[in-house]
Structure 1
Amino acid sequence: MILSTKQKQYLKGLAHSLKPVVQLGNNGLTEGVMAEIDLALEHHELIKVKIPTDDREQKRLICDAISREAKAVNVQLIGHTLVLYRQSEEKKIRIPKL
């Protein structure tokens, strides 16, 4: 799914008040963490993931891996927080048309 800039801005506005649902630990991106992200996306559609690393390149690689594995759209990466969106079958969030 590809989102326009306007759609991403809308999702960023919705995500502003959200708290991180999943937090990566010392073990990094494990199968358990991916399962939790997948479950949270199915339930909420729009989630925040906390990535506690200071290395920008490593953070970017983790974000790309998460969005690829979860089949989600990377809406925003700001600081240590990644915002992900994946539409569920129930379509809880109505994003604006293109």
Structure 2
Amino acid sequence: MTKTKAAKPPVLTNPQKKQLRSLGHELAPVVLAGREGLSANLIAATRAAFKTRELIKIKIGQNAPIQREEAAAELARESGSALVQVVGRVLLLYRPNPELPAEKRIAL
């Protein structure tokens, strides 16, 4: 794991989580956790995904040596994001990005 200081995660209300879950329903996973588990590369890929979007899906592969709850908490903490939902082996994370153009930002 990397030990860099992550940004403070946003605190989401239940209505905000509900809105984000509905937006995330149509998204495809952009990060895949594989055999390496919670590696520095996985955390870097998660952070990189947040540079171009605010809401991302992460899929935990069948052969990943990590539990989904552990992965969700660790990735959210390391990326400075809020955990929105865990469904099966798919995680939904949100982190606001003020540098994105207005049309790409999510209004909560």
TM-score normalised by structure 1 residue count: 0.88
Q: How far 1:74 moved relative to its partner? A: 0.2
Q: Is the 8 A contact 1:51 1:80 kept in 2?
A: yes
How big is the shift at 1:86?
Answer: 0.1
Q: Which amino acid aligns with 2:46?
A: I
> Which residue, out of 61, 66, 70, partners 1:61?
70
Give the equivalent residue in structure 1 for 2:3: none
Unaligned runs of 5+ in 1: none
SS in 2 for 1:47: strand
Greater mean deviation of Cα atoms: 17-26 or 58-67: 58-67
What 5-or-longer segments of structure 2 have no aligned partner?
Answer: 1-9
- The CA deviation at 1:42 is 2.0
Mapping 1:1-98, distance limit 5 Å: 1-53=10-62, 58-90=67-99, 92-95=105-108
Paired with 2:80 and 2:47, the residues of 1 have a C-alpha distance of 9
- In 2: Cα distance, 1:20 partner to 1:77 partner: 13
Residues 53-90 of structure 1: per-residue CA shift (max 9 Å, x gap): 59xx8221111100000010000000110000000023
Q: Distance in 2 between matches of 1:47 and 1:37?
A: 8
Cα distance, 1:47 vs. partner?
Answer: 0.4
* Aligned-partner SS, 2:41: helix
Q: Distance in 1 between matches of 2:97 and 2:87?
A: 24
What's the % identity of the aligned pairs? 35
Higher share of residues assigned helix: 1
Q: How many residue pairs end up in the alignment?
A: 93
Contact 1:63-1:74 at 8 Å conserved across structures: yes
Displacement of 1:41: 1.3
